[in-house]
Structure 1
Amino acid sequence: MIENETPPGRRSGKITLVGIGPGSEAHMTQRAREAIAEADVVVGYVTYIKLVAPLLEGKEVVRKGMTEELDRAVSALEAARQGKTVALISSGDAGVYGMAGPTYEVLFQAGWTPEDPVEVEIVPGASALNACAALVGAPLTHDFCAISLSDLLTPWPAIARRLEAAAASDFVTALYNPKSGRRTRQIVEAQRLFLRHRRPGTPVAIVKSAYRRRQHIELCTLADMGEADIGMLSTVLIGNSHTFMRHGLMVTPRGYANKYELDEGGITREGERAGRSLSSGLEGWLQTLAQEHAAGATAQALALRYRLPADYILAALRDAASGQAMPSNLETQP
């Protein structure tokens, strides 16, 4: 265990968790460059060290392997305890499947607190989903989520439940760590779970090594995803039910067509108002729900119609009832 003390006569050190972005220096933030320039020591996975090699002249460099994340964090803390400024680098963003989490775990285990002489700073960077989306169009314009298929640290049932929930909820989904030399079936299982809820023609983009020397982009459908060239350096973007491909670009609509006549200069549709919730937004939906229930639809039937839990429908009906007359037998109509 690392002692929670700075040796007498030495200045306190610093750990900067640096997200270097997708890999090209042009896509690093100014603060990321500054953090590396300020560092006495740079710690990172060997591939990431190569990506920032032009910035490392005159610095102590600690290279670690793929599964040595905790070792990287320990090395960074040891150097900081010696009064050194350390840049601990991650590709993408340090807080998205990066080194921020493991480092804080190591710090807390060592007794570190925010008042400790060792300072910690996180420098954000563009994650893989940002970089890949930028290369293929605008697939993340509406709600999305990210799921890692790596089961090295996460049980597969937990991953499968997340995939099922994302697919059923119609999230655009970014799959990180989709496949490796030994992990080949996980992407097949992900495809199987998504095909339970998405049409086979759902657009999919597979981007390998975004903004790096061997960048490769493949556009396909959910049905054909299993035949695509997918590896450990790939990120897979699966569209939602509204995502479309046009002119080689993958686009997810934000929803403006629900409110505006797009071909008429943005005139609002009948029943809609600019700057206000949709007529099918929360308040409008509560009114509709109350009307349907008053007309005889049970909470269970409404739950099936809207694909929502029955107890949530009952709670929503109670909320709606607080503002208008409702059937007295609400509780007895599950």
Structure 2
Amino acid sequence: MSKGRIFLVGFGPGAEAHMTQRAREAIAASDVVIGYATYIKLVTPLLSGKRVIRKGMTEEIDRCVEAHAHAREGRTVALISSGDIGIYGMAGPTYEVLLQAGWHPDSDIEVEVVPGATALSACAALVGAPLTHDFCAISLSDLLTPWPVIARRLEAAARADFVVALYNPKSGRRTGQIVEAQRILLRHRAPDTPVAVVKSAYRPKQSIQATRLADMADCEIGMLSTVLIGNRSTYRQAGLMITPRGYANKYDGITGALKSGERAGRSLSMGLDGWPACVRAYLSAMPSSSLSATAQAFDVSIGEVLSAIGGASATDPAGGYVAAGARPGTEIAVLEAARRWGRLRLAMHHESGIAGELQCAGDDLYTSGEQMELVTAQLRMHIDLTRIHRIWFARCGEQRRSVYGVDAAGAGVFTLSLDADDQDIDPQAAQRFDQDWRTLTHPTEMELLAHG
């Protein structure tokens, strides 16, 4: 018996002109072609003399099992899908079925994935260039993925300013998901953010709706639609939806001269190596800015701002701020030391966005195993120390001294500050704080300068 073969074929948006030569070759070489009925219809001219197996919308696993069965009998099978078969397509389920049946790449069935133009790239080509910068694809179908997972992905993509392509946005029974996606996106994007709704790209019933985020859910949307949502930079002009690549960050008017401080072929001044200096320059120019306001201005975590301050030098200061990270393993020691600092102000931060602040005495703090406790006559609070990835000492001038506990992502968990009395910090408390700073950190250049 001859060796079986499975071609997993993505044939693009549907028009033969957009099908790759390899996709045509794979279908031509196959004895059996399996696919959703609509996909079979799109490639009918290529199916003469072949056994054709049509399956329904919810029979994806049946297609995989059927392909495996025919390949086991020595046939060459083309399992076809529009777009790219590896993107929301049949490649993944097919491999899962094969592996579950004991198949491996060196077995008697050869498998080849034939890529095709994706739905999102086909739709983007029809409306301009909305995917020129970072983008992501999210399916709104909750048939196999829990909605809370989808919602978290939407939230993360919206906050991170990705251009978003929504697959499976709406069906006859699933009508609320697109509305909820719109609500999540509007928390981070302007109502007039450009949106394109493209149905049946490059097929006879193709339609394109240009709209804005505030009106997106009111559009005619179905399972054959892909929704493209711009980021904060995306604009619409001359009927085109454009997301800038970013040349205007480096060149005047894109084609003009390099902007001051930039170099051709090198990272931006706000690149990986340069952005901490921008944070320090911001703090020098805005001495009244708090660390939380600075983090918001740069859209980074408080831990990243503290790290930028920790990299300050005599020639590159951070305004009046100085910071140094506590040595790994000294977190409990820092909190035990804080018991000697007298009157304190404790700010608590939660990942939900809730924050609280209260006054306490240093000896109201206790560490117990993996918890820090604040115990007073009126109050008992707990902080989970397993969330603390690093503790930072920070100082601004003579009247602001604090330690920050941040998690692995750099988000603030708590802040302990020396409490000022009539704008003055107790000199003995400040002295003890500075002594513990020197004992528990790797001193930075600016910290050494600050303490002589």
Q: TM-score, normalised by structure 2?
A: 0.68
1:306 aligns to what?
298
1:140 aligns to what?
131
CA distance in 2, matches of 1:270, 1:305: 21
The correspondence for 1:270, drawn from 251, 254, 260, is 260
The correspondence for 1:220, drawn from 203, 211, 235, is 211
| CA 1:328–1:307: 2 relative to 1, 3 Å | closer
> After the TM superposition, which of the residue ranges 299-308 and 84-93 deviates more from structure 2?
299-308
| CA 1:317–1:13: 2 relative to 1, 3 Å | farther
| CA 1:271–1:84: 2 relative to 1, 3 Å | same
Shift of 1:272: 1.3
The letter for the 2-side match of 1:171 is F
| CA 1:297–1:50: 2 relative to 1, 3 Å | same
After the TM superposition, which residues 46-61 of structure 1 pair with which residues of structure 2 at under 5 Å, given as runs? 46-61=37-52
After the TM superposition, which residues 45-194 of structure 1 pair with which residues of structure 2 at under 5 Å, given as runs? 45-194=36-185
Shift of 1:117: 1.1
Secondary structure of 1:245's counterpart equals: strand
Structure with higher Rg: it is: 2
CA distance in 1, matches of 2:312, 2:68: 55
Aligned residues: 323
The letter for the 2-side match of 1:332 is F
Structure 2: tracts of 5 or more residues without a match: 326-391, 395-403, 405-452
2:337 aligns to what?
none
CA distance in 2, matches of 1:244, 1:111: 51
CA distance in 2, matches of 1:74, 1:187: 33
1:34 aligns to what?
25
The letter for the 1-side match of 2:2 is R
CA distance in 2, matches of 1:103, 1:230: 29
Shift of 1:292: 5.2
CA distance in 2, matches of 1:297, 1:313: 12
**Deviations 1:226-263, CA, capped at 9 Å, x for gaps:** 21111110000000111111111111110111111237
> After the TM superposition, which of the residue ranges 24-33 and 272-281 deviates more from structure 2?
272-281
Structure 1: tracts of 5 or more residues without a match: 1-9
Structure 1 vs Structure 2: percent identity of aligned residues? 64
CA distance in 2, matches of 1:79, 1:299: 64
> After the TM superposition, which of the residue ranges 21-30 and 296-305 deviates more from structure 2?
296-305
CA distance in 2, matches of 1:229, 1:251: 22
Shift of 1:306: 2.2
Higher relative contact order (CA 8 A, sep 6+): 1
CA distance in 1, matches of 2:165, 2:9: 22
Q: CA RMSD in A?
A: 2.1
| CA 1:298–1:22: 2 relative to 1, 3 Å | same
CA distance in 2, matches of 1:268, 1:76: 57
Identify, as 1 or 2, the structure richer in strand: 2
State whether residues 13 and 119 of structure 2, in contact with CA within 8 Å, keep that contact through their aligned partners in structure 1: yes
Secondary structure of 2:248's counterpart equals: helix
Shift of 1:293: 6.3
State whether residues 81 and 89 of structure 2, in contact with CA within 8 Å, keep that contact through their aligned partners in structure 1: yes
Match status 1:253 vs 2:259: no
Shift of 1:288: 2.5
The letter for the 2-side match of 1:304 is Q
2:442 aligns to what?
none
CA distance in 2, matches of 1:302, 1:169: 18
Match status 1:207 vs 2:198: yes
The correspondence for 1:332, drawn from 373, 393, 398, is 393
2:278 aligns to what?
288
